[in-house]
């Protein structure tokens, strides 16, 4: 039998891996089972964090490359958005014993800013220590996708993202980083997400169910 408890689930992976789709599917399934859950995302999730998200994504598409954010400005914006998100949405929901499903979290900063852009990991770890406190995901799903499937999915999108035109090597590096982060961690699940059938959503629900006893 399900007993209400704070539970934090994160989906990670490169663009086009299907994490937004899978997190929505999981959210709907939990709702169907009358589980008190919220679905949120990073960067974003609150009014102020969504404003910061727009700023980050807008900068990427700005034509004047001289005025582009420095990588530390960019990183600080992700972290600022995260701080607002944690204070105003994630922690209050967990305090109310809700299930929080989040599309991206701290591992995206490690994969993109640290491994991808070579931002100093200590800089990020120090800020994370301050803004996370004892907040840790209970489960992290890392969705792994072939480059071909990812590109096919991205081509279908109307709104473009900053990394939607990623180079092959950036994509491969980011995916490798997610897998490296996930390796040997008990609460991380690396799941193949290249095909478009229902098996993945069932697998994810099974894993969540084992923890929540729905």
| Contact set with ligand TMP (CB under 6 A) | 15, 42-43, 78, 103-104, 108-109, 112-113, 161-163
Contact criterion met (CB below 8 Å) for 64 and 28? no
Smallest gap from Cβ 42 to ligand TMP, in A, equals: 4
Q: Which is nearer to ligand TMP, 55 or 214 (CB)?
A: 55
Alpha-carbon gap, residue 191 to 143, rounded angstroms: 5
Q: Which is nearer to ligand TMP, 150 or 194 (CB)?
A: 150
Q: Which is nearer to ligand TMP, 15 or 84 (CB)?
A: 15
Q: Which is nearer to ligand TMP, 163 or 189 (CB)?
A: 163
Smallest gap from Cβ 5 to ligand TMP, in A, equals: 25
Smallest gap from Cβ 189 to ligand TMP, in A, equals: 18
Smallest gap from Cβ 10 to ligand TMP, in A, equals: 10
DSSP string, the chain: ------EEEEEE-STTSSHHHHHHHHHHHHHHTT--EEEEESS-SSHHHHHHHHHHHHHHH-S-GGGPPPHHHHHHHHHHHHHHHIIIIIHHHHHTT-EEEEES-HHHIIIIIIIIT---HHHHHHHHHHHHTT---SEEEEEE--HHHHHHHHHT-SS--TTTT--HHHHHHHHHHHHHHHTT-TTEEEEE--S-SSHHHHHHHHHHHHHH--
Whole-angstrom CA distances from 152 to 17, 100, 146, 168, 177 are: 11, 29, 10, 14, 22
Smallest gap from Cβ 14 to ligand TMP, in A, equals: 8
Q: Which is nearer to ligand TMP, 33 or 165 (CB)?
A: 165
Smallest gap from Cβ 137 to ligand TMP, in A, equals: 13
Q: Which is nearer to ligand TMP, 29 or 104 (CB)?
A: 104
């Amino acid at each position: 039998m399900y007993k209400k408890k704070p539970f934090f689930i994160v989906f990670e992976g490169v663009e086009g891996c299907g994490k937004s789709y899978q997190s929505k599917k999981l959210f709907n399934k939990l709702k169907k089972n009358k589980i008190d859950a919220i679905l949120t995302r990073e960067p974003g999730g609150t009014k102020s964090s969504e404003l910061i998200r727009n700023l980050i994504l807008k900068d990427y598409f700005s034509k004047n490359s001289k005025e582009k954010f420095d990588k530390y400005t960019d990183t600080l914006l992700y972290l600022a958005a995260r701080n607002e998100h944690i204070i105003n949405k994630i922690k209050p929901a967990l305090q109310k014993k809700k299930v929080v499903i989040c599309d991206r979290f701290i591992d995206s900063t490690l994969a993109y800013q640290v491994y991808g852009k070579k931002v100093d990991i200590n800089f990020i770890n120090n800020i994370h220590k301050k803004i996370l406190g004892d907040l840790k995901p209970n489960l992290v799903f890392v969705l792994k996708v072939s480059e071909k499937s990812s590109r096919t999915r991205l081509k279908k999108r109307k709104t473009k993202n900053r990394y939607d035109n990623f180079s092959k090597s950036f994509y491969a590096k980011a995916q490798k980083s997610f897998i490296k982060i996930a390796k040997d961690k008990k609460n991380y699940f690396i799941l193949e997400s290249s095909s478009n059938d229902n098996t993945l959503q069932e697998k994810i629900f099974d894993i969540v169910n084992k923890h929540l006893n729905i």
